[in-house]
Chain A
Amino acid sequence: MLSTFNFRVIWDYMGLFLQGLWATAWISAIGLTGALSVGIIACMMRISGKKFLSAPAIAYIELIRSTPLLVQLYFFYFGLPSLGIRFTEYQTGIFALSLNSGAYMAEILRAGVQSIPGGQVEAGIAFGLNYLQRLRYIILPQAIGVTIPPMLGQTIVLVKDSALLSLISVFELTRASQILTSERFMPAEGFLTVAVFYLLLYYILKSLSGWWQRRLIHRQA
């Protein structure tokens, strides 16, 4: 197989691939920021104990988790303009990615919050800390600590999911190899290269996760 592989074409298109890699990186970074914001808010609403806050949060989380990202993406891409709301492809794509990943982040965060013994929250109550202060100083620092590894896992999913944005003509890594395919008709070379780049991103995030876990263990020892 290797003899039929045209490595040269990969090299010719390296500039395009690197641009794609860069686009995937920043799209994922913004998507992640959005996902974390949405996730923290949805999680706080869900555990607030107030129905008018928790009900919409549950509806959002369930709706996102029960439907494919591609459907959500198409819905925002084709649906929003018909409602008169216009975004660029990039904005729509990042919006859908944030909203999708945010639902999973919310559930990861909720598991983290629930892992904190109730006694600590009681201690906070007993010393007069209000709900937001307990959240900020007692619950979230610990919840985020224990949820960093699963959140990085979800971030890896987000990076890979960003490939779907190529379907609404956003330029990113996968799109780069689609361009190569349509110009030179060499899909194997193109997608193999893209896969290697995704692998690279995956290992960066994975080693971050490992580093964080060692740090966590070190601090609690």
Chain B
Amino acid sequence: MIRFEKVNKWFGKHHVLQDIDFHVAAGDVAVICGPSGSGKSTLIRCINRLEPIQSGDIVVDGMSLTDKKTNITRLRAEVGFVFQQFNLYPHMTALENVTLAPLKVRKMNQNEADELGRELLEKVGIQEKASAYPAQLSGGQQQRVAIARGLAMRPKIMLFDEPTSALDPEMINEVLDVMRKLAFEGMTMAVVTHEMGFAREVANNMVFMDEGKIIETGDPERFYTHPENERTRLFLSKILSH
């Protein structure tokens, strides 16, 4: 579903992604972790070309990102994105946030879009907040609206960029619950997170990144209990010690 082939990316002189080969099969959940600045956010931001790559190729649902014939808008419609900072539109209600893209990109009519929007808000458990503005919602609720918005184009793939890092601890679970539900429904997901419980439960594949390279991949149980690489071990000891 998502395939990275020898991907390289630079920010100026900084080589942020170095020869990345990486694959997520349909229905799989890949969890990407690593120290800050390791390139993990950049990695998933490349998947829907929020960041351009300089060499190599990324193929998403059979569409190559470097192929000039690829319709990037169509590709983006197949990929939902959830940001660390939610990035909801503050001048729109929760429902309007969800229905904007279906209305304007899919050209759905208002009734269809509202129905879809309510269905998705119900799925993330906040149907009663449909007419609330983002500022009236808690962080956890905002992020759930953002997930509903990410699902609004009926994507085949969902990308999550540290979806719980900006949340107060007591709100993390309500967001993870929604993500678990999606994973169990068979959504293909790539998630940047350090939430170990979540990773152990739903990930098919763990990816550890450091300094722009993929250092280690593996199934989560082995990854957490017997990491092979010294850097992985060091990193895990830091995040698991508390």
- A122: chain B residues at CB < 8 Å are 50, 83, 87
Q: Is B104 an interface residue (CB 8 A)?
A: yes
CB pair B89–A120 under 8 Å, yes or no, is yes
The answer to whether residues A126 and B133 also contact, given A119-B87, A138-B89 and a CB cut-off of 8 A, is no
The answer to whether residues A129 and B101 also contact, given A119-B85, A123-B81, A123-B83 and a CB cut-off of 8 A, is yes
Q: Is A117 an interface residue (CB 8 A)?
A: yes
Residues 97 to 130 of chain A near chain B (Cβ within 8 Å): 117, 119-120, 122-123, 125-130
Q: Is B239 an interface residue (CB 8 A)?
A: no
Measured CA separation A130–B79 after assembly (Å): 16
- A123: chain B residues at CB < 8 Å are 81, 83, 87-89, 149
B159 to chain A, nearest CB (A): 8
Q: Is B152 an interface residue (CB 8 A)?
A: yes
The answer to whether residues A127 and B83 also contact, given A122-B50, A145-B91, A221-B135 and a CB cut-off of 8 A, is no
CB pair B133–A128 under 8 Å, yes or no, is no
Number of B positions contacting A (CB below 8 A): 25
Q: Is B60 an interface residue (CB 8 A)?
A: no
Interchain CB contact (< 8 A) of A129 among B48, B105, B135:
B105
- B207: chain A residues at CB < 8 Å are none
CB pair B100–A137 under 8 Å, yes or no, is yes
Q: Is A154 an interface residue (CB 8 A)?
A: no
Q: Is B37 an interface residue (CB 8 A)?
A: no
> Taking chain A's interface residues, is the majority helix, strand, or loop, or is none over half, making it mixed?
helix
CB pair B50–A126 under 8 Å, yes or no, is yes
CB pair A137–B81 under 8 Å, yes or no, is no
Residues 121 to 144 of chain B near chain A (Cβ within 8 Å): 133, 135-136
CB pair B91–A141 under 8 Å, yes or no, is yes
CB pair B90–A126 under 8 Å, yes or no, is no
Q: Is B77 an interface residue (CB 8 A)?
A: yes
The answer to whether residues A126 and B100 also contact, given A120-B87, A141-B91, A221-B135 and a CB cut-off of 8 A, is no
Q: Is B175 an interface residue (CB 8 A)?
A: no
Interchain CB contact (< 8 A) of B73 among A130, A137, A145, A219:
A130
CB pair B81–A220 under 8 Å, yes or no, is no
CB pair B50–A127 under 8 Å, yes or no, is no
A220 to chain B, nearest CB (A): 5
Measured CA separation A137–B101 after assembly (Å): 10
The interface bits of chain B over 84-110 (1 if a CB of A lies within 8 angstroms of the residue's CB, else 0) are: 010111110000000011001100000
The closest CB in chain A to the CB of B103 belongs to A137
- B91: chain A residues at CB < 8 Å are 141-142, 145, 219
Q: Is B180 an interface residue (CB 8 A)?
A: no
A53 to chain B, nearest CB (A): 22
- B152: chain A residues at CB < 8 Å are 127
The answer to whether residues A126 and B73 also contact, given A137-B104, A220-B133 and a CB cut-off of 8 A, is no
- A220: chain B residues at CB < 8 Å are 90, 133, 135
Measured CA separation A130–B105 after assembly (Å): 9
CB pair A127–B89 under 8 Å, yes or no, is no
- A142: chain B residues at CB < 8 Å are 89-91
Measured CA separation A126–B146 after assembly (Å): 12
The closest CB in chain B to the CB of A130 belongs to B73
Residue in B79, B101, B152 whose Cβ sees the most chain A Cβ within 10 Å: B101
- B50: chain A residues at CB < 8 Å are 122, 125-126
Measured CA separation A125–B100 after assembly (Å): 12
- B135: chain A residues at CB < 8 Å are 220-221
- B153: chain A residues at CB < 8 Å are 127-128
Measured CA separation A20–B126 after assembly (Å): 57
Q: Is A33 an interface residue (CB 8 A)?
A: no
Residue in B87, B133, B153 whose Cβ sees the most chain A Cβ within 10 Å: B87
Residue in A117, A119, A126 whose Cβ sees the most chain B Cβ within 10 Å: A126
